[in-house]
Amino acid sequence: MNVQERLEQSAFSSDGATLLIDGEWRRARSGETLDSLNPATLEIVGEVAAGNAEDVDDAVRAARVAFDERRWTKLPPPLRAKILHAIADRIEAAVDELAVNEVRENGMPLPMARGTILGGAQAFRYFAGWIGKIHGQTGEVSHGEQFFGYTTKEPIGVAALIVPWNGPFMMACHKVAPALAAGCTVVLKPAEDTSLNTLNLARITLEAGVPPGVLNVVTGLGSVVGAALVEHPDVDKVSFTGSTPVGRQIVRAAAGNFKRVTLELGGKSPVIVLDDADLAMTVPGVLNGIMANAGQACVAGSRLYAQRGIYDKLIQAVSDAAAKLIVGNGLHEGTQMGPVISQKQFDRIMGYVESGVSEGAELVTGGKRHGDAGFFIEPTILSRAPADATVVREEIFGPVLSAMPFDDLEWAIQQANNSRYGLAGGVYTSSLEKAHTVARAVKAGNFWINCHSVQDFWLPFGGYKESGWGRERGEMGLEAFLETKSVVARLY
C-alpha cells in the first residue's frame, strides 16, 4: 500500500491506536482517547490515544535504546540523507491529502495548508543537505607540538519535540528534520487539538526507512504527556513551540537533569509604517501579517504604529480590505480566512476585543462572531488604542489588529520595544536609511522591511526577551541538537 492509499484509509482512524513506540502502533495504556474537532463544522473528525506518563516512559525508553544502539547514526551519512529526501518525496506525493487533513483539523484555508505541507517537505530537504557536513575543528595546542587538538560534533541524545496547533504538520517537520539530521532519536508530542496529521508524518517516516525507535510519537494532553516528557530524566533535549507561560514551566521542569532547551514562544510583533510608505505594498502586507491563519501566528503583526500623515488613509484601506476578506470553511473555494482553533480560543479573543473597546480603542471593523456555526471571528481592527491597553500589551493570537498613530519615529521605536516579547517586527518605508535604522533599533529576533513573515530555512528563527531561547532553522537550528566535544591527544 502506498502512502496516499494509507492516508485515505487511516488518516482519521478512530481505533485509538495512535501511539508510535519502537516502530509499533498501539493504544494508550489507559485505553483512553481524545476527540479531534473540525473548528469550522464542529464535527468530530477522529480520535487519538490519550497517553500518560507510562506511555511517555515507554517512548523515551525506546528512543534511548535506539540511540545507544546507534540504529540511526550507524547508517552511512549518504543513506541517512537519502532517507530524509525520501520523506520529503512522500510528503510532496501526498500533499493534496495531507492539506485536506490539515484543514479539517486546524481550519486554515486549503491553499495555505498546501503551502505549509510543502514547507515541511522543504525542511527535510534542507537538513538532509547538512548530513555528512557536520564537522569539528582541528588545531595546535599551546602546550607544544607533541599535542594535537580537535573537536567533534555529536548528537545530544533523546530529544522531546513538542509542537503547537497553529501549523501542526509543518512545525513537526521543522523540529524532526534537524533532530534526525543531527543524529538524535525523538519523542514527538503533537498538540492535542491537532494530532492526526502529525501521525501521518510518522507513518511517512517509517515508510521512508527511519529505523524503529528513532521516531516515537505520544499523543495526549500537554499537561500530562508534555509535562512527563520535560520532566523525564532520560530526555536530553526539549524543543518546544508554544506559549510563554508554558515555556516558563518547561524551564523549571528541565532543571532536574539540566536538559538542553530550545523555546519558541509568544510574540506581540510591532509594525511601523512611515509617511513615505507605498500603500499598495503596505496594505496587503499589514493585512496578511495579522489575518493570515486567523491571526494564529506567533509572528503576527498585531501592533501597528503608523505615522500621522498616513494613519487615517492606511487604517481606512486596511479596514476596507479586512472587511472584504472571505471568511469560511477552509475547504471551500475562495476562503481567505478560516476559524480559530477552539471554543476556548474563540472566547479568549472575543474577551480581548471587549477589553480593547472598554479601555478606549475605537472598533473600526469586525469584533463579532462570523456566521452562526464554527469558531469564526470577523477580521477586527481597533484604532487609537491606548499604549497601555491590554490589547496592546498581551498576545491575543487571533485576527485582531491594534493601531496607534505617531509623530516622532523615536517614540514609535520606543513603543515597539516596550514589550516583554521580542519575536518579530517590521517597517514599511521608501527610505533605505530609515528602514535599516528601525531594523537595527527594534529588539526582535526576526524583522521584515516592506514585507511580513517572509522566511527561508537558512535564516535562523527565534526571539529576544520572553519570546524564547535559542534558534530554529539554519545552521543554528542544527546546532541546537548537537554537543561539542574537545579532544587533546599526546602524540609522543
Out of 47, 264, 378, 466, the active site residue is: 264
Strands 400-406 and 446-449: unpaired
Out of 173, 184, 231, 298, the active site residue is: 298
Strands 421-422 and 464-465: antiparallel
DSSP letters of 59-91?
A: HHHHHHHHHHTTTTTTS-HHHHHHHHHHHHHHH
Active site (annotated) includes residue 298: yes
- Alpha-carbon distance of 431 to 408, in angstroms, equals 16
Q: Which three cell numbers stand for residue 250?
A: 518547561
Q: Comparing C-alpha atoms, which of 245, 224, 210 is closest to residue 29?
A: 224
Q: Which three cell numbers stand for residue 147?
A: 599535542
Tell me the backbone φ, ψ of residue 225, rounded to 5 degrees.
-70, -45
The answer to whether 379 and 369 have CB atoms below 8 angstroms apart is no
- Strands in 24-26's sheet, in edge-to-edge order, are 24-26, 19-21, 215-217, 185-189, 158-162, 237-241, 260-264, 468-469
The angle, 0 to 180 degrees and rounded to 10, between the axes of the packed helices 95-106 and 3-10 is 30
Q: Comparing C-alpha atoms, which of 56, 25, 24, 33 is closest to residue 225?
A: 56
- Alpha-carbon distance of 3 to 308, in angstroms, equals 55
- Alpha-carbon distance of 265 to 33, in angstroms, equals 28
Tell me the residue type at 52: N
The answer to whether 87 and 126 have CB atoms below 8 angstroms apart is no
Q: How many CB atoms lie within 10 A of CB 115?
A: 15
Q: Which three cell numbers stand for residue 477?
A: 537550528
Task: Give the 3-state secondary structure of residue 377.
Answer: strand
Q: Which residues are catalytic?
A: 264, 298
